[in-house]
Amino acid sequence: MWFSNPNTVTDTVKTVGEAAKKTDTSWIMHHVLDAREISLEPFGSIHLPQFHLWGMDISITKHVVFMWIAVLFLILTFVKVSKSYKKSLVPKGVTNLTETLILFVRDEIAKPNIGKGYEKFLPYLLTVFFFILTCNFLGLIPYGSTATGNISVTATLATISFVVIQAGGMMKNGVFGYIKGLLPHGLPAWLIPIMFVVELLGLFTKPFALAIRLFANMTAGHIVILALLGLIFILHTYVVVPVSIAFALFIFLLEVLVALLQAYIFTMLSSLFIGMAYHQEH
Amino acid sequence: MNLLSYLLLFTFSGGEAQGGPLDVNPGLILWTVVTFLFLLFVLKKIAWKPILNSLNERENLIKESLEKAENARKEAEKLIAENKSSMAKAEEEAQKIIDQSREHAEKLKTQILDESKQTAKKMIEDAAAEIERKNADAFNKLKDQVADIAINAAEKILKENLDKKQQIKLVDKYLDEMNKN
């Protein structure tokens, strides 16, 4: 293990540079990054199957597995919830929890941000909210991994959001009307080409920000927790243990909040952008 | 110092090391798309449609119930107001009737009183007239009787007009008779 021999790293930046070439320092990233196996540390690890399609590596990775766990969890939960509504309109048990979240997405996110015609986007918004929320929380349980802490996953989700936003705008205003509507009214003719480029860039910036925000938030918390725990081994003393644990616990609780918050923010901003594309006159 | 070096190490190794956090994995992108679209499709079918329908149904039910309750309340209020007004009306009517009958009774009383006074007066007058009449009658009778007696006495005197002695005797006798009468 890396911490059993800390003397390999000396005080000089030069040796740090040398050490950077070694992979034994990537223990934090090991927990955050995607992997080809699921490690269940004291019990060994599960090697995942690898596939190749048309020269593309489409192996099942750890984050894919955790996304599937999230999907399975959500489908099982909502089958149960859906059944409970057939029995009675009065919510009970887990239905209460999901109903609170569903109504939150509907009444606090979709309705005020999209406005009229929000019903069409509700399935997408609900799915993205619950998917991100579940993925975020899966990263907080032992042996769990945060699929939403992977830039590929968040970029894909943001791209899907982008497609939904543009499709929504084009369905409502027509393809040409939508592109025309991107420009503000009453613009001098010579400004139009510049503004068009700016607005076009703006369209792509929005999902880019969505992707980076979710990825960075989910990764940062884990890194901070691991770094705090790493302090114990770096400083080689038991004195720091209570401090590290206390701070790590604090960050963990913060992460619970962040997990909820990021799911909310992703959904909220998506619906905000959908609203902007859908009702262009504003 | 060790901590610093590790932090630096981490910073340096961040993006460029194998499998850095900003590496994009096309396989993962594909799987994310597939997974998400699958989830969207399945949840739309099994969850969002029935759940949102149920929620709408329940909201409508609650709205309707509230409206019904509100209508019922309005109806009840209207009924109460109606009751109140009709009660006030009835009371007024009753008061009117009482007043009327009181007035009527008063009138009747004075009328009866007047009538009885008049009757009494008339009766007294009648009685006085009757007494007058009776008095006159009695007086007339007495007058007749006195006349009769006088005539009888005169007759008897005329019958026994013999001598002075006899005359005196006769007068005495007659006077006796008179006294006896």
Mean pLDDT, residues B99-114 taken together: 94
In a domain, A269, yes or no: yes
pLDDT at B105 exceeding the cut of 90: yes
In a domain, A257, yes or no: yes
Domain span including residue A196: 64-278
In a domain, A86, yes or no: yes
Q: How confident is the model at residue A23 (pLDDT cuts 50, 70, 90)?
A: very low
pLDDT at A48 exceeding the cut of 50: yes
Q: Among A28-32, A94-98, A253-257, B130-134, which is the least confidently predicted range?
A: A28-32
Which tens digits make up the pLDDT trace of B48-98?
Answer: 888 888 888 888 989 999 999 999 999 999 999 999 999 999 999 999 999
For residues A258 and A249, what is the distance between their CA atoms, to the nearest angstrom?
Answer: 14
Which tens digits make up the pLDDT trace of B125-158?
Answer: 999 999 999 999 998 888 888 888 888 888 887 7
Mean pLDDT, residues A263-280 taken together: 88
In a domain, A14, yes or no: no
CA distance, residue B18 to nearest chain A CA (Å): 9
- The residue ranking higher by pLDDT, A64 or B25, is A64
pLDDT at B99 exceeding the cut of 70: yes
Helix (H) or strand (E) holding A47: strand A44-47
- Does A11 contact B1 at a Cβ distance shorter than 8 Å? yes
Q: Which residue of chain A has the CA closest to B61?
A: A89
Mean pLDDT, residues A12-16 taken together: 47
- Does B47 contact A82 at a Cβ distance shorter than 8 Å? yes
**B28 vs A19, A34, A231: nearest CB:** A34
In a domain, A183, yes or no: yes
Mean pLDDT, residues A141-147 taken together: 83
| Average pLDDT value for chain A | 81
Structure confidence at residue B151 (pLDDT): 86
Burial category of B20 from C-beta neighbours within 10 Å (exposed 0-12, middle 13-18, buried 19 and up): middle
Which tens digits make up the pLDDT trace of B159-169?
Answer: 766 667 777 88
In a domain, A7, yes or no: no
Structure confidence at residue B90 (pLDDT): 94
**Overall number of domains in chain A:** 1
For residues A154 and A169, what is the distance between their CA atoms, to the nearest angstrom?
Answer: 22
Q: Residues of chain A with pLDDT > 90: what percent? A: 10
In a domain, A9, yes or no: no
ipTM above 0.85, yes or no: no
In a domain, A49, yes or no: no
Smallest CA-to-CA distance from A211 within A257, A266, A264, A255 is with A266
Q: Give the bridge partners for A37, in sequence order.
A: A47
Which tens digits make up the pLDDT trace of A159-191?
Answer: 999 999 888 888 888 887 887 777 777 777 787
**A56 vs B21, B27, B46: nearest CB:** B27
Q: Helix axis angle, A192-235 relative to A240-278, nearest 10°?
A: 160
pLDDT at A5 exceeding the cut of 70: no
Report residue B141 as tokens.
Answer: 């009778």
Separation in Å, CA B106 to CA B95, B109, B111, B143: 16, 5, 8, 54
Report residue A19 as tokens.
Answer: 């050490």
Structure confidence at residue A141 (pLDDT): 87
pLDDT at A79 exceeding the cut of 80: yes
For residues A192 and B111, what is the distance between their CA atoms, to the nearest angstrom?
Answer: 110
Which tens digits make up the pLDDT trace of B13-49?
Answer: 443 444 667 777 777 888 888 888 998 888 888 888 8
Burial category of B154 from C-beta neighbours within 10 Å (exposed 0-12, middle 13-18, buried 19 and up): exposed
DSSP 8-state symbol, A24: T
| CB within 8 Å of chain B, chain A residues 59-78 | 59-61, 63-64, 67-68, 71, 74-75, 78
pLDDT at A238 exceeding the cut of 50: yes
Q: Which residue of chain A has the CA closest to B21?
A: A33
Single-letter code of the amino acid located at B111 = Q
